[in-house]
Structure 1
Amino acid sequence: MRNTMRTLFILLGALVGLAGTYLVHLGDRYGLPWLMIAVATLASLYGLGWGLLSAAAAWGLDWLLNPNGHLGFAAAILLISVLIADLIGKDLRRTYRRQQEVTTQLALLVAALEELSSFHGREAILRVLPELLGRYGEGHVSVWQPQPEGLKLLSAVGLDARTPTLLPDSGVVGRCALEGRLCYLPDVRQDPTYIAAPQSGIRSELALPLKERGQVVAVLNLERSHPFNKRELEGLERFARAVSLQLSQLSERAELQFLNQLSASLDSASTLSGVAERALALLVQALGMDQGWLWMQQGSRMVAVAGFGGMDEVEEIPYGQGLVWQVYATGRPIYAQNYRDIPQALSRFRGAIGGVVVHPVPLPNQERPRIVLSLYQDSPRRWRESEQDLLAAACRTLGLALEGVLAAQQRDVLIALLREAAEAQAETVYENLLQAAVRMVPGAEAGSLLAREGSRFRFKALLGYDASLKALSFSETEQLRWYSGALQDWQRGEPRILSTNHTDLKQLSGEGLGEAGRVKEIAANLALPVVYRGEVLAILYLDNLHDPAAFAEDSLHVARFFAAPIAALLHEVRYRGLLEQAAATDPLTGLSNRRAFDQRLEEELKRAQRYGQPVSLLVMDLSGFKQINDRLGHAKGDEALVQVAQVLRASKRDGDTLFRWGGDEFAALLPHTDLAGAVAAAQRYAEAIEKIRIEDLELGVNIGVAAYPGDADDSDMLLRQADERMYRAKRCGVSVLKA
């Protein structure tokens, strides 16, 4: 409009100038220039045709006003003016048209972006685009989203109802999605890959990628009956980039908002399952999934910490099966469009799961992710990079929350152990301590605890191993060999890791443990010497029977955390044991007393009943002791009792327990021994006692033997049977009455 008004003013001025020259009677000389101005203006603005037409009109006007003038000269001058003005005006007209196109495109871009700014979600923006562009002059506009099976129509304007809603990856739209760049067909008839729509009259097709953080999330497709010019292509490409920028900004803003929401929600949870449940609920909703699980490695199992949305029957996954263990082994997430296409997929879920992601949850000091997140949906899914970025950030946030909860859990376990130890029996303390260590130290699935007894170490608790190992004992030298570390580390209580990847554990252990030790099965071993005031009180061994790389720096970190409290706990148990031993020990002979006998008899009998093994009892009454006591005095009598205790100790087997009941009565418990073996042991003890001389006086003994299960079913009957046989031996004048 502004250019039109300017042209009218120029023409009006030329006419006024022409009229003025004739009013002052100068028209024959100066009228022609004003006509040249008018003709040149029209030729430069509207082209050669308008210029020639206006030149003819001007010549005619000049002839009417000045019929006696030089009409040929005037025609030549006007023609030359038209030609020169047209040549000059071509560039002006071209520049003007470009400016108009750019202005139109900028108006479209600004108006569209202003409208798009009121939408706050990816889906909303993509759905409104066809309507928006259709409103600004584009006829057939559609938006397509990449899916596992092709490109799915999201929204459209101007398309025929018969247009397919799913396109293959071939064609203009497919190429645009795959290549991530503008694809343009000036003439669709010249391209064999063009997918013709039901409507006719389409000449050109333009596909523009819409990206979110660098990845194509949709394709904007425009179809026309005439080609797009260069300026239109540039403008629409700029528009697509602007939309992509807005999509990226929305995605980043949504990710930040989600992470803030996730962090706030996890901060208020105080348990492992509570943190897991909240994280799963938010992630499943944010990503539009159907269900999710959080798994934690415990030895050879991946145990479900929490689940959301179904599949309640899944509680654990055995070692090496499924994608969870693959992520544990590699530390890298797995994104799959379709679960059934993955070779490692669990067969029972192939038909129930479509799109899936299995993602590691990183914790400090972890070489392998021991916590793994898995999300599933029923239908196939194509994963966007923005979703992968969101999941990576969410798992880092989740890992920080879980780190705090696990640290608190470890403290609670130690507090509970210390509290229970105040009243529990030593055996119970050992068992609870081992179970807690296997549960809390990453990678452990079995273990044992050996405690110091004098100069040797004996198994006090076992998890995953046969109880027969408790009959074995080892020297400190033997334990150092198995520890396979520096002496200063042993004395400092530094934990160490052995793995079959680098060490022959079977050769290192020797033959002492036998089959019960399962040394051939151990893939990795963590040893923790428990040190208190420079002395190794115990050794905690933790084992993994499947994975040579099960233990890592995080395992050592937790073991070190346990070391000092465990040392204090075991010292207290040891000190209390010494007090109990003193209360259960005869002060003269150093043998266990009658109180200890009563307790030990019940324990051995229950153990024998549990494992179907025999146990025998010997009851001993000295003969000749009264004569020593009466003739030589009580000091010599005490000396006789001490010597009896010494020869009994020298004659006993490992595992047998000796007691002094009081006075001149002694007893022995013989585990894993039947009646015949017990009689042989009694004869050995009798021969040893009969060799004792106190000055010129001799000692003798009468021994009664009874065995479970042949002679008795309970402790009272076993004791009564042995006592009766002891008296019968005394009446018969023999040391041992053979049954």
Structure 2
Amino acid sequence: MEPLDGWLRQIESGGALDRIWPEIYRHYGYEGVRVFDVHGGTAELTFAEGGEGEPLEELKIVARPWDGVVGRAFNSGEPLEVRDYPQHPDALPARSGFVRSLLVLPLRFGGEDHGAVVMTMHTRPHPGLDARQLQELRILQSLLSAHAALRRQRRRNERQRGLVAFMDEIHKINRLDELVPVLFRSLSRDVAYNAVAINFIEGASLRILYGVGESGHGPRTIGEAIVPFEKETLTHLVFSSGEPLLIGDMTDPMARQMYPVRILDPEPERDEPELRSFLAVPFESRSTQGVLSLQSMRPWHYGLEDLEHLVAVAEVLGYAIEHLRWRGLERFARRLGQLQWRAGEEREFFHQLLLATSEVWNQLGAAFFVRETQEAPFERIAVTGRVEWLPRRLDPVSLHLEQPLMFSRFRQLPEVFRPLWNPEKMQGGLLLPFGEGFIWLASARGFTEWDLQLARSMMREIRPYAERLGLQARLAREAALDPLTGVYNRRQLDQQLARLASLAARHGHVFSLAVVDMANFGGVNNRYGHLVGDRVLARVAGLLKQALREEDEVYRLGGDEFVIVLPHAGRDEGLHAARRAAEVIARDPELSHYGVHANFGLAVYREGDTPEDLLERADREMYAAKKRGLTVLEHPLGD
């Protein structure tokens, strides 16, 4: 009983059993051993030694453990010794060429099948066991069965705790793209892998959120991709069948013959090993269907316990996705309700509106275009993100749209909207129309039917704000604009300078302004009349706006004088802006025809300055430059 005592101590200690399996089969005079775990009617080979020539890859998953001699042992629950396997009525033909004798210990506890230990002879028949050896085996069988049941229960408890922790973490995140690292960490506690992917079926497209890296650590790469559904053949197979899929070795010729394998590996390194094992389960929620998949670089890495656990994770994942997708829209609606529009700050309001869209979409950027009338061009009044190619204005066009439009190719866009597309950076665009304006969303990955559905929901939330505030913004702009030139008027200038001076005093911001005087303008009025003079002033205003940065603004001070306000600009930036504007004016053929050119006077905010102080200093510099025949003074006048 001495070997048995050692095995029993090893089993009772709860340690790994791989060391004792070879000792057991050799002790009883067998040449090899196969150890199976059984889960829900399917058996999995977990340990094998001996049995030269037997194709073990075919034994990895045995779909029906109750077939053959092993099945008879499961049905009886007793050890079964077969001395002449090929002649046994339940022998499997595929095994008869490799197995001469067989001994099966079925592991059953509490009415549940947990596994089997199968000892084999391959070169000759086994002479048989005596009564004492059979008694030892029954003791060993009883303890191994209890150990298998306990190990499985502990494993289930651990994974249940992991699922509860996963659900707790889900409630702490707000965005769908934050789900991948949380899922990555959660699975790391229970399953080893090199890649995890959440595949959403959205119309004819598949949205893939993926993480790549070694389990137990944070993902090395996190990303998102949108691809045609039919190209992801394994995902398509799992979704169409509605059944989990486990491929032990994706490089195995039989597996490649059965499955059109396409391995997901974003931007693979040159020396990176090939992914081998694949495990995927479908999930479904009220508004989403998809597939959760794991991949490993090790062949036969996933087993039936992993599959069972992933099914449970997928159920939680379906809930999480539903929760997160609509939470983004709810948060967007709450943020809209918190926004306040103030006269003179329309640009900031719409900027905040666009920032709120990033709570729903992860995108390159967005822009808000609006116009005052149907005949007017669309003006870009707010922009966020990396969309520097977007134009400031678009040509007038009738926009009679009630629903958002989704674009995946440049050719799909109406011609007037084609300047919104950047083929080098974009894979998709969404246009959300609102009365006399629209929001444009640009994506580096593209959009799907789900995004279009979400956009419709967003439009219902935004429309009242956009239309009401768009109308108020237009009315406010009209009150703030000089009717002749279309730039801001003197009252708006005083308000803006007071606001910038207040910000500079509180936060130390720098800003400057330039007074612009149109030399020879009086001669235009005297020689050509006031109608021509008005046209020249409007022309100058347009050229000044064209020459400036996005954040700079032009104001009409009165008569033929304008003021340029330059936020976040000191003396050097102001000189650069003045030279640039003067060059644009000097190159204009119409102004050259009338002999009109510009003189500039700069003033940079100093602590304690009032708007009047700034205008007075800039006015003095402008007259000094004019007197000296200069466009602008390089150095400020001494006070």
Pairwise TM-score range, normalised by the shorter structure: 0.5 to 0.7
Secondary structure of the 1:390 match is helix
Secondary structure of the 1:541 match is strand
On the 8 A contact 1:617/1:667 being kept in 2, the answer is yes
Secondary structure of the 2:221 match is coil
On the 8 A contact 2:354/2:384 being kept in 1, the answer is yes
Distance 1:713 1:175, change over 3 A: closer
Q: How does 1:81-480 map to 2 (within 5 A)?
A: 144-145=34-35, 153=47, 164-165=49-50, 169-170=54-55, 174=59, 177=62, 180=65, 181-183=67-69, 187=84, 204-205=101-102, 220-221=118-119, 225=126, 258=159, 262-263=163-164, 266-267=167-168, 269-272=171-174, 279-287=183-191, 289=192, 302=209, 309-310=216-217, 312-316=219-223, 332=239, 335-338=246-249, 344=263, 346=265, 347-348=268-269, 350-351=272-273, 355-357=277-279, 362-366=284-288, 374=294, 376=296, 379-385=298-304, 387-416=306-335, 419=338, 422=341, 425-437=345-357, 440-441=360-361, 445=364, 447-455=366-374, 456=376, 457-460=378-381, 461=383, 463-467=385-389, 469-475=391-397, 477=398, 479-480=399-400
On the 8 A contact 2:332/2:357 being kept in 1, the answer is no
The amino acid across from 1:528 in the alignment is L
The amino acid across from 1:674 in the alignment is E
Partner in structure 2 of residue 551 of structure 1: 448
Partners of 2:408 and 2:516 lie apart in 1 by 43
Deviations, residues 338-380 of structure 1 (Å, cap 9, x unaligned): 57777636443743966454666655434666xx56464x643
Partners of 1:173 and 1:375 lie apart in 2 by 21
Partner in structure 2 of residue 705 of structure 1: 598
Distance 1:328 1:428, change over 3 A: farther
The amino acid across from 2:163 in the alignment is L
On the 8 A contact 1:506/1:519 being kept in 2, the answer is no
Distance 1:728 1:596, change over 3 A: farther
- Aligned-residue Cα RMSD (Å) equals 6.5
Distance 1:575 1:299, change over 3 A: farther
- Percent sequence identity is 15
TM-score (norm 2): 0.56
On the 8 A contact 1:528/1:539 being kept in 2, the answer is yes
Shift of 1:140: 5.9
On the 8 A contact 1:363/1:403 being kept in 2, the answer is yes
Q: How does 1:601-616 map to 2 (within 5 A)?
A: none
From 568, 571, 583, the equivalent of 1:674 is: 583
Partners of 1:619 and 1:566 lie apart in 2 by 48
Partners of 1:725 and 1:653 lie apart in 2 by 23
Partners of 1:172 and 1:379 lie apart in 2 by 14
Secondary structure of the 1:526 match is strand
Uncovered stretches (5+) of structure 1, i.e. residues with no partner: 1-114, 155-163, 197-202, 229-235, 481-489, 531-535, 604-614, 627-639, 687-701, 730-739
Deviations, residues 640-672 of structure 1 (Å, cap 9, x unaligned): 98996578559986866985423x445498987
Secondary structure of the 1:453 match is coil
Structure with bigger RCO (C-alpha 8 Å, 6+ apart): 2
On the 8 A contact 2:234/2:262 being kept in 1, the answer is no
Partner in structure 2 of residue 540 of structure 1: 439
Shift of 1:705: 1.5
Distance 1:175 1:417, change over 3 A: closer
Deviations, residues 317-355 of structure 1 (Å, cap 9, x unaligned): 77779xx97777877576443577776364437439664
Uncovered stretches (5+) of structure 2, i.e. residues with no partner: 1-7, 38-43, 71-81, 88-92, 130-136, 253-260, 501-514, 547-552, 565-577, 605-613, 630-639
Partners of 2:207 and 2:563 lie apart in 1 by 44
Partners of 2:304 and 2:367 lie apart in 1 by 47
Shift of 1:266: 0.8
Distance 1:719 1:404, change over 3 A: farther
The amino acid across from 1:262 in the alignment is L
Partners of 1:176 and 1:312 lie apart in 2 by 30
Partner in structure 1 of residue 457 of structure 2: 561
On the 8 A contact 1:458/1:473 being kept in 2, the answer is no
On the 8 A contact 2:195/2:212 being kept in 1, the answer is no
Shift of 1:400: 0.5
Secondary structure of the 1:407 match is helix
Partner in structure 2 of residue 232 of structure 1: none
On the 8 A contact 2:211/2:221 being kept in 1, the answer is yes
Partner in structure 2 of residue 158 of structure 1: none
On the 8 A contact 2:332/2:359 being kept in 1, the answer is no
On the 8 A contact 2:391/2:419 being kept in 1, the answer is no
Secondary structure of the 1:458 match is strand
Q: Which has the higher helix share?
A: 1
Partners of 2:443 and 2:108 lie apart in 1 by 48
Distance 1:277 1:459, change over 3 A: closer
Distance 1:264 1:310, change over 3 A: closer
Deviations, residues 243-267 of structure 1 (Å, cap 9, x unaligned): 99x9999979976995586257515
The amino acid across from 1:458 in the alignment is E
Partners of 2:156 and 2:45 lie apart in 1 by 25
Deviations, residues 448-487 of structure 1 (Å, cap 9, x unaligned): 4322332243333365544451133332x2x44xxxxxxx
On the 8 A contact 1:359/1:374 being kept in 2, the answer is no
Distance 1:385 1:506, change over 3 A: same
Secondary structure of the 1:440 match is coil
Secondary structure of the 2:34 match is strand
On the 8 A contact 1:706/1:721 being kept in 2, the answer is no
Secondary structure of the 1:144 match is strand
Partner in structure 2 of residue 518 of structure 1: 422
Partners of 2:60 and 2:307 lie apart in 1 by 23
Deviations, residues 264-285 of structure 1 (Å, cap 9, x unaligned): 7515732158876665555333
Partners of 2:539 and 2:404 lie apart in 1 by 38
Secondary structure of the 2:430 match is strand
TM-score (norm 1): 0.50
The amino acid across from 1:309 in the alignment is G
